[in-house]
Homo-oligomer: A and B are copies of this chain.
Amino acid sequence: MKATPGLPGEFALIARYFAPLAAGFPGAYGLLDDAAAIAPAPGHELIVKTDAIVGGVDFPVNEPGDLVARKALRVNLSDLAAKGAVPRAYMVDLMLPDTVEEAWIAAFAAGLAQDQSEYGVHLIGGDMSGTPGPVTIAVMALGEAPAGRIIRRAGARAGDAVFVTGTIGDAALGLRTLQGALPGLDGASAALLVDRYRLPRPRVTLGPQLIGIATAALDVSDGLVADLRHLCEVSNLAAVIRAPRVPLSPAARAAIAVDPALLEIVLTGGDDYEILFTAADTAADKLAELSRSFSVPITPIGHMAPPPERNQAPVAVLDEAGQELGLTSEGWTHFGRAPQ
């Protein structure tokens, strides 16, 4: 038994900080039961996703509790959004080393509360445990979508346009900024990029609107090129995108102006939590309207192409002159080597 000096017991912590987050969701039973009950609306199915984040791997070890909580939740909501699901509830497993103080847990719960208001979700279950390792958080998010209508990764057609929401590369540049690797960047740009790394903005309201328009979709978490490759592989197609069309924030443009080599980080760095999707060219008007209604940039960056030849990479990234960029890495992967 790991007793943590200074912390109240597990049940007191749940009652104090987490049970209030279950209020308003009857099937959560106030977190006083062993499990929660949830049913999709008629004609809908539940869409479920889990993603865990680890201190020192996915977020800095000294990160405040509220930001850690919101990042853990949001990376999961981002996947639901990319599938067109409306988020409804989530569960959290929280593994804490004995160095964590109650104030950190209070901040963690406050971060969840803030995002519950923002995204209309409720905490319906979870687990707390001690760990000799770093703070580790596993979130399971539950959303709903019309039955059989979620936007799959498979489903793209040759000739479909490739779109991406928002801007790409900010989070990856933000991580490099935190690591001190972008010393020449102005302070305002640096702050914007770091903020994008620390706090993803999942496209929760836009995502469900893409049902019936997008032929395939996923969220950009491993990196634009790697995630487009995932989409190509399951759709059995290739893709050609044009680097100059990839939407960049002014801060990312400033960083690339200082060091043009950062373009590769932008294209492959990951943690964007934007939606990458394919749709017919004819959907462009409808997408422009959605972009205006939801104040989310939606940018065409290329096209899907017939299946790649043997030994041909499925994703080609072209520069302004139409020449293929040679990228040394395609994106984040845990374990082993990132594929070339």
Contact = CB atoms under 8 A, between A and B. Distances in A.
A39 B147 contact: yes
B33 A128 contact: no
A150 to B, nearest CB: 6
A125 B50 contact: yes
A52 interface: yes
B9 A333 contact: yes
A240 interface: no
Nearest to A56: B132
A133 B130 contact: no
A267 interface: no
A290 interface: no
A130 to B, nearest CB: 5
Nearest to A79: B34
In terms of DSSP, what is the predominant structure of the interface of chain A?
mixed
A81 to B, nearest CB: 10
Nearest to A80: B35
A200 to B, nearest CB: 14
Contact of A79 (B1, B35, B150): B35
Contacts of A122: none
Contact residues on A (Cβ < 8 Å of other chain), bracket: 35 or more
This chain's copy number in the assembly: 2
A39 B50 contact: no
B33 A3 contact: no
A150 B47 CA distance: 22
Given A9-B339, A219-B34, A2 B48 contact: no
A175 to B, nearest CB: 11
B58 A129 contact: yes
Given A58-B129, A125-B48, A133-B132, A338 B9 contact: yes
Interface stretch (A135-143, A278-286, A304-312): A135-143
17 contacts: A3-B335, A7-B335, A9-B336, A10-B333, A33-B152, A34-B82, A35-B80, A35-B150, A37-B145, A39-B44, A52-B95, A52-B138, A53-B129, A93-B93, A95-B136, A132-B134, A140-B140
Given A35-B49, A39-B40, 6 more contacts: A33-B153, A34-B49, A48-B142, A53-B129, A127-B138, A133-B134
The 7 closest A-B pairs by CB, nearest first: A133-B133, A138-B138, A9-B336, A39-B45, A52-B93, A35-B49, A34-B79
Interface of A: 1-4, 7-13, 27, 29, 32-40, 44-54, 56-58, 79-80, 82-83, 85, 91-93, 95-96, 124-134, 136, 138, 140, 142-143, 145, 147-148, 150, 152-154, 218-219, 234, 332-339
